């Protein structure tokens, strides 16, 4: 976070002619990369400042953050706020290069933040670029080309990373996502020798290491087996199972009361029959989440010790598929609309915890998405 003072424009007169030589620096590093380390950027900026007799009075920084969006980049947001509110006590912003300002997929967004600075009388200067950011035709063309190249680099990198993740998932290695109840993560080396189990929040450090899923504690596996037996053999509803677990005080991995959505997730999770499934959803360039068709899923069979028998899992899937099938589209929407009128609003949590209303995934499957169902009921 920037070490910024609250300085009003009206108070800048005390700097006199020194304001023109006062500069702030903005540094950003998305990952651990030697070329773009914070230290390397700062050194290059310091050399640039010395060459032009500039004094760096502020540092705005974002560590370990992607340049695709501004939302979590508190350093850049603080910089823009200080500039637009007249609190900036400097006349220039020094940045290592165009890509450190951001790899925005919309190059106009990158230009917009620079324009806000320029409009406030503060110039943005790129210290490692081979052009002067002086507004000339040549610099404008080169700068815009650099912005496009920075955005394209992110797109290419994203595609390569995703392809690598698909390959590793096909080999049975875990590629992230929420960890289900009754499961744990084991760290293995390149020879598949165990290096122990990872706790919540821990990550692997070596590129040659991998993470695989394993079944968890025996008492958690017993709970999973009991959930499937009650749902398939004794024909209990998900709501009845939820009430029993909460009444008995059975803990779950979230440390909160059980919900119908948790039970539904367990009943649909192929991890419990030994399979890993990856790429159900995509989140390209941190944009809109996309649900992929089953043909794009990466399913690796037999990579985990099964917690339940495959036959009881398939029986659960049949019941899950058929339980709301008798309802027409209009009847499904009518229940959703009645819930909206009762609650005054709708959310996944409200839908999934209300008796007599199908779970969110039912509306996803029937109407393509929950958003489409919302539109159908106005």
For residue 260, which of 155, 175, 350 has the smallest C-alpha distance? 350
> What phi, psi does 367 have (nearest 5°)?
-115, 5
Co-location of 275 and 302 in the same domain: yes
Q: How many domains does the structure of the chain reveal?
A: 3
Residue 167, in any domain of the structure: no
Question: DSSP 3-state assignment of 202?
Answer: coil
Polymer length of the chain = 378
Q: By CB neighbour count within 10 A (0-12 exposed, 13-18 middle, 19+ buried), where does 164 fall?
A: exposed
pLDDT at 77: 94
Co-location of 370 and 288 in the same domain: no
Residue 102, in any domain of the structure: yes
Residue 68, in any domain of the structure: yes
Rg, Å, the chain Cα set:
27
Residue 335, in any domain of the structure: yes
Last-in-domain residue among 301, 323, 345: 323
Is 46 within 8 Å of 56 (Cβ atoms)? yes
Co-location of 243 and 138 in the same domain: no
Co-location of 93 and 219 in the same domain: no
Residue 3, in any domain of the structure: no
Co-location of 99 and 180 in the same domain: no
Q: How many CA atoms lie within 13 A of 131 on its CB side?
A: 17
pTM passes above 0.85: no
- Quickly list DSSP for 326-344: TS-HHHHHHHHHHHHHHHS
- 339, two tokens: 């819930």
**Residue 287 C-alpha from the chain's centroid:** 9
Residue 80, in any domain of the structure: yes
| Residue 228, domain CATH | 3.90.1750.20
Co-location of 282 and 181 in the same domain: yes
Q: Say how far apart CA 29 and CA 41 lie, in whole Å.
A: 9
pLDDT at 254: 86
Co-location of 306 and 331 in the same domain: no
pLDDT at 270: 93
pLDDT at 281: 83
Co-location of 272 and 329 in the same domain: no
Co-location of 249 and 305 in the same domain: yes
Q: Say how far apart CA 156 and CA 337 lie, in whole Å.
A: 43
- 296, two tokens: 């794009």
- 355, two tokens: 């008796």
pLDDT in tens, the chain (378 residues): 443 333 444 444 444 457 788 999 999 988 655 567 889 999 999 999 999 999 999 999 998 777 788 888 999 999 999 999 999 999 999 999 999 998 888 889 999 999 999 999 999 999 999 888 888 898 889 999 999 998 888 888 888 888 898 999 999 999 877 788 999 999 999 999 999 999 888 888 888 899 999 999 999 999 999 999 999 999 998 989 999 999 999 999 888 999 988 999 999 999 999 999 999 888 776 667 788 888 889 999 998 999 999 999 999 998 887 777 778 889 889 999 999 998 989 988 888 777 778 888 788 888 888 889 999 988
pLDDT at 280: 85
pLDDT at 287: 63
Residue 165, in any domain of the structure: no
**Residue 220 contacts by C-beta under 8 Å, 6 or more apart in sequence?**
181, 182
Co-location of 202 and 338 in the same domain: no
Which residue range(s) make up the domain with 334?
A: 324-378
Q: By CB neighbour count within 10 A (0-12 exposed, 13-18 middle, 19+ buried), where does 135 fall?
A: exposed
Last-in-domain residue among 280, 305, 323: 323
Residue 163, in any domain of the structure: no
């Amino acid at each position: 976070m920037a070490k910024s003072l609250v300085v009003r424009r009206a108070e800048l007169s005390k700097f006199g002619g020194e304001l023109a030589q006062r500069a702030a620096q903005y540094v950003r590093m998305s990952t651990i990369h030697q070329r773009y380390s914070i230290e390397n950027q700062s050194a290059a900026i310091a050399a640039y400042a010395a060459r032009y007799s500039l004094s760096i009075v502020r540092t705005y920084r974002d560590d370990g953050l992607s340049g695709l969006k501004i939302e979590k980049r508190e350093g850049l947001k603080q910089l823009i706020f200080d500039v637009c509110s007249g609190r900036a006590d400097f006349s220039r912003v020094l940045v290592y290069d165009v890509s450190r300002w951001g790899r925005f997929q919309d190059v106009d967004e990158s230009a917009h933040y620079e324009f806000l600075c320029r409009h406030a009388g503060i110039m943005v200067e790129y210290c490692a670029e081979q052009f002067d950011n002086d507004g000339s035709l040549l610099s404008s063309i080169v700068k815009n080309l650099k912005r496009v190249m920075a955005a394209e680099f992110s797109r290419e990198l994203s595609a390569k990373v995703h392809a690598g993740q698909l390959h590793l998932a096909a080999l049975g290695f875990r590629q992230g996502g929420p960890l289900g109840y009754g499961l744990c993560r084991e760290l293995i080396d390149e020879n598949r020798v165990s290096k122990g189990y990872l706790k919540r929040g821990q990550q692997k450090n070596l590129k040659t290491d991998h993470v695989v899923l394993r079944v968890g504690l025996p008492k958690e596996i017993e709970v999973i087996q009991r959930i499937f037996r009650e749902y398939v053999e004794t024909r209990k509803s998900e709501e009845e199972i939820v009430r029993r677990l909460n009444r008995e005080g059975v803990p779950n991995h979230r440390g909160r009361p059980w919900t119908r959505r948790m039970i539904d997730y367990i009943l649909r999770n192929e991890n419990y029959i030994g399979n890993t499934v990856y790429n159900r959803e995509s989140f390209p360039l941190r944009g809109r989440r996309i649900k992929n068709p089953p043909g794009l899923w990466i399913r690796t069979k037999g990579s985990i010790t099964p917690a339940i028998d495959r036959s009881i899992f398939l029986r659960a899937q049949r019941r899950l598929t058929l339980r709301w099938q008798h309802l027409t589209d209009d009847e499904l929407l009518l229940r959703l609309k009645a819930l909206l009128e009762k609650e005054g609003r709708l959310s996944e949590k409200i839908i999934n915890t209300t008796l007599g209303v199908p779970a969110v995934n039912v509306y996803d499957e029937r109407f393509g998405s929950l958003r489409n169902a919302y539109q159908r009921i106005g």
